[in-house]
Structure 1
Amino acid sequence: MENEIKSHYNYSEVILWLEKKGTELYGNHFKIVETDYPIVYKLIAYFLKDEPTCFQYGINLNKGILLSGPVGCGKTSLMNLMKHLTPTEHKFLVKPCRDISFEFIQDGYQIIHKYSIGKLYESQPKTICFDDLGIENNLKYYGNECNVMAEILLSRYDIFISRKIQTHITTNLSATEIEKHYGNRVRSRLREMVNLIAYDKSTPDKR
């Protein structure tokens, strides 16, 4: 696979560096398995903004990343590692969707603002990776049911269009399941907002 990558970056070295960082963060058992290299190469190319390689992979650098794959395949750890590869101006926050849903129960609709437009005193919305989309449930706030993540993603689409702010997502849902959970408006907005990078369904649970 590697010799197919024509790049001024040495991807083998980047993988070694990521593994070293991974053992610091997750312990000595952390390893990037070779079968995952095709996925990891795409993420490296994207987060290093390696244009020629992204072009080979058909990755659009203006869009965010939707990393999809079965439970336990390592999506969250990879996105946390990518934070360390990313140039300062593209740094992002990894935020579990489940935590957002608990915040919504506590604080209500201002949470939708917080994760889309940003807090009132922030001049610029942030790039966020919404981790584990689909694990949160529809929640009631004072008896009103709200699909919090659907609302946030629709708002993130607006800031993507108006201000080029990117959104990243990890999920174990398929495109069809995303549509079922969040509606076809969200699904079609996501097509415009993100590059899909998907693990094979048969990827084993690494936990």
Structure 2
Amino acid sequence: MNEQTGLNHSTHQQEKIIQSHYNYEEVCAWIEKKGHELYGKRFRVIENDLPVIYKLIAYFLKDEQAAFQHNLDLDKGILLAGPVGCGKTSLLNIMKFLTPLEHKFSVKPCRDISFEFIHDGYEVIHRYSKGKLYQSDPKIYCFDDLGSENNLKYFGNECNVLAEIILSRYDIFISKRITTHITTNLSATEIETHYGVRVRSRLRELCNLISYDNKTRDKRH
């Protein structure tokens, strides 16, 4: 999300389409300012990303009117998909500051979880699903960069850690309506290959899919 700005006349045109009591142009300006604080002055909100950003704004502000127009279910989480370097992680980290207090979430890299599994074993699955002992409710997490981790062994037993966590998070969603967010550069078919048909099926019910265009360039260049 850098090098060029999208806050121009086309933003006004797109904003007019969205029926909302929020000013989406002002929110985009706030996102860019927060991006400068977190990632430096090269961070930019660019025009091509606005369809994705507007959906995220509608979801995380719990803007029911705009969410309905974007076909977003506010009771579900977000599965943000797109090519490597398109800005998924940056946006979700910024959205932490936008969402209401009761919907605050922590961003956890999937690779870090896999390394925790090497050290702590199967307790890690419990940690990111049901939560710590005596915790009244599990936390809301964003599992960042699903697919970047590897299947790992703990005392010789191989485990697809993230698959088990997602299945557990689905059970919690059904029983307690606690949401889960995910970022990934995997396609639906690749998710099924990596994690199985059960995970792919449950993700449909667990999350709203928001996708970047596959041709979105790597903004780290």
Taking structure 1 as the reference length, the TM-score comes to 0.99
* Residue of structure 1 in register with 2:107 after alignment: 94
Structure 2 counterpart of 1:61, one-letter code: L
Match of 1:81 among 91, 94, 97: 94
Structure 1 runs, 4 residues or longer, greater than 6 Å off: none
One-letter amino acid matched to 1:23: H
1:145 pairs, out of 158, 162, 169, with: 158
| Corresponding residue to 1:159 among 163, 167, 172 | 172
Q: Deviations over 1:58-100 (max 9, x none)?
A: 0000000000000000000000000000100000000000000
Distance 1:110 1:10 in 2: 44
Q: How many angstroms does 1:3 deviate by?
A: 1.4
| Distance in 1 of aligned mates of 2:110 and 2:79 | 14
Using the alignment, how far apart are the partners of 1:39 and 1:61 within structure 2? 16
Of the candidates 67, 72, 76, which is equivalent to residue 63 of structure 1? 76
- Do structure 1's residue 193 and structure 2's residue 209 form an aligned pair? no
Secondary structure at 1:126 match in 2: coil
2:149 to 136, 161, 165: 136
Shift in Å, 1:121: 2.6
Alignment-derived partner of residue 27 in structure 1: 40
Structure 2 residue identity aligned to 1:143: G
**Separation in 1, partners of 2:208, 2:110:** 19
**Is 1:109 aligned with 2:122?**
yes
Provide the rounded CA distance (Å) in 2 between the counterparts of 1:16 and 1:83: 16
Name the count of aligned residue pairs: 207
Determine the C-alpha separation between the residues in 2 that align with 1:33 and 1:200: 14
Say whether residues 1:72 and 2:85 are aligned partners: yes
Give the superposed CA RMSD.
0.5
2:107 aligns to what SS in structure 1? Answer: strand
Aligned letter for 2:176? Answer: R
Distance 1:2 1:70 in 2: 26
Please give the alpha-carbon distance, in whole angstroms, between the structure 1 residues aligned to 2:100 and 2:73.
17
For residues 137-195 of structure 1, give each alpha carbon's deviation from its aligned partner in whole angstroms, at most 9, with x where no partner exists: 00011110000000000000000000000000000000000000000000000000000
In structure 2, what is the Cα distance between the partners aligned to 1:85 and 1:33?
19
CA positional deviation for 1:11:
0.1
Name which structure has the greater RCO, CA cutoff 8 Å, separation 6+: 1
